[in-house]
Amino acid sequence: MRLRRRRCLVCYWHAGAFVVHGYPRLSPLELHPVAVEMLAAFDDWIELDRAMEDLVGFDRASIEEAVAVLRENSLLLQEGSDEANEDEKIFDQWGPWAPEASLFHYATQDEHYVRVDLAFDSLESTATDANEVVPDDGIKRRVHTLFTTYPEADRLLLPRGSTRLSEPFDQVLHRRRTHRDFTDQPVSLETFSALLATVFGPVDFIDSGRSALLRRTSASGGSRQEIDACVGVLNVEGVPPGTYHYNCLEHSLELLSEGLTSDQVVELCGRQEWAGATAFIVVLCTTIDRMLSKYRTPRAYRICLLNAGHLGQTFALAATALGLGPFQTAAFHDSTVAEFCGLDNIGRTPLYILAAGHPNNDPITPPLAGLDTFRRTSLYTKQRGSA
């Protein structure tokens, strides 16, 4: 009988313990660090007696005992078993994305939602109390704040309500495109203001049972609204080039830094040259504590990513309705973008970059697919039907 170490496996230190985390469906397991040497001996299919030759310093009884524990916890797999076949299939499927993406995918699956009062919603907090509070019951909870503000920043109050999105919805849906070719026409302040208010402004406020929560035009898990907008302005009427935080409660721009060039935007957007011709970019920045104030499982980070997607789609549709050409990209260097937005990249971190400008009348766009295109196209992923 030959054994092999599970390929879908990650080891790390957590809370002072050495943890071996196999996936899928396996819980993190605390083991003695010597388990690394045991697992390393089974890098590929090998008989137990042959593996023992590499485990110098261990007697047979201790090796057999360790192997039994590792097999019992599905960290060592038997050749030809269903588990081994599944492990190989997952490892091959995820390829260059493993182990980071595959671990996150499987480790956050099938979690049970338990309704526990973990939120302590508050309308205000300072830098010293924003992370945790200890109510009378002695349980530490994250403070939930509705808005982010830079109180000492210079600010520009934006006009309200002068531009309407009145184009029929079906036309907006079918006109939406990702644009990569823009004119040098500046975006009017009214259009720019309407777009920010439509996507990021509050629609209304609801009673959570403890405090108020806000709703936007996009879905947000638990109404946490953990995503803020950092705006880089290049070509908007009445707004000097620079980096701003959009204060959605005030409907204002809070100045973070003056000056912004096309070359800087290109660098921020993964050196995609066409990005420098846009009128403005919007970096979606998540505030982790807003999500942690209610959801304590790592699956909640999935929701942060999905929420960014919701906002991105609303942005694209609203920009289209306002006559602008939107684009969006995840091709950026996170640390560089975090620095640009003044984020610590710990509790506040960038997720997505959106942008818009006036599209060129002769945009750079691929031709429609013809018969020859479809001849060299694989249309279907074929699946077996259920019995």
Q: pTM of the predicted model, to two decimals? A: 0.89
Mean pLDDT of the chain: 91
What average pLDDT does range 101-121 have in this prediction? 72
Closest CA to 231 of 202, 255, 201, 262: 255
Rounded Cα–Cα distance for residues 182 and 180 (Å): 7
Residue 62: enclosing H or E segment and its boundaries? helix 60-72
**DSSP codes of every residue in 236-295:** BTTB-SEEEEEETTTTEEEEEEE---HHHHHHHTTT-GGGGGSSEEEEEEEEHHHHHTT-
8 A C-beta contact, residue 120 and residue 144: yes
pLDDT of residue 120: 42
For 144, list phi and psi in degrees, rounded to 5.
-105, 120
Q: Is 369 exposed, middle or buried, given 0-12, 13-18 or 19+ CB atoms closer than 10 A?
A: exposed
What's the token pair of residue 220?
Answer: 């947000």
Pairing of strands 280-287, 76-78: unpaired
Judged by DSSP in three states, 2 sits in strand
Pairing of strands 325-329, 17-22: unpaired
pLDDT of residue 175: 94
Closest CA to 357 of 218, 234, 269: 234
Q: Of the ranges 66-70, 98-102, 120-124, 188-192, which one carries the lowest mean pLDDT score?
A: 120-124
pLDDT tens digits, one per residue of 139-170: 566 778 999 999 999 999 999 977 788 899 99
pLDDT tens digits, one per residue of 307-320: 999 999 999 999 99
pLDDT tens digits, one per residue of 9-58: 999 999 999 999 999 999 999 999 999 999 999 999 999 999 999 999 89
For 136, list phi and psi in degrees, rounded to 5.
-60, -25
Rounded Cα–Cα distance for residues 69 and 31 (Å): 10
Q: Is 212 exposed, middle or buried, given 0-12, 13-18 or 19+ CB atoms closer than 10 A?
A: middle
For 123, list phi and psi in degrees, rounded to 5.
-80, -15
pLDDT of residue 16: 95
Count the neighbouring beta carbons within 10 Å of the beta carbon of residue 377: 8
pLDDT of residue 116: 43
Q: Please report the beta strands in the chain, taking only residues with DSSP state E, as ranges in sequence order.
A: 2-5, 9-14, 17-22, 29-30, 46-47, 76-78, 120-121, 143-144, 155-157, 204-207, 212-215, 227-233, 242-247, 252-258, 280-287, 325-329, 348-357
Judged by DSSP in three states, 27 sits in coil
Rounded Cα–Cα distance for residues 172 and 344 (Å): 37
Using the predicted structure, report yes or no on whether residue 97 has a pLDDT greater than 50.
yes
Which domains are present in the chain? 2-107 (3.90.930.70), 154-357 (3.40.109.10)
Using the predicted structure, report yes or no on whether residue 125 has a pLDDT greater than 70.
no
Which residue is it, tokens 């766009």?
A: 365
**DSSP codes of every residue in 185-244:** PPBPHHHHHHHHHHHHS--EEEE-SSSEEEE-SS--GGG---EEEEEEESSBTTB-SEEE
Query: With bands split at pLDDT 50, 70 and 90, how would you rate the model's confidence at 135?
Result: low
Compute the half-sphere exposure of residue 229: CA atoms within 13 Å on the CB side of its CA: 26
Could you tell me which residues are beta bridge partners of residue 373? none
Q: Helix, strand, coil shares of the chain as percentages rounded to 5? A: 30, 25, 45
Rounded Cα–Cα distance for residues 310 and 362 (Å): 29
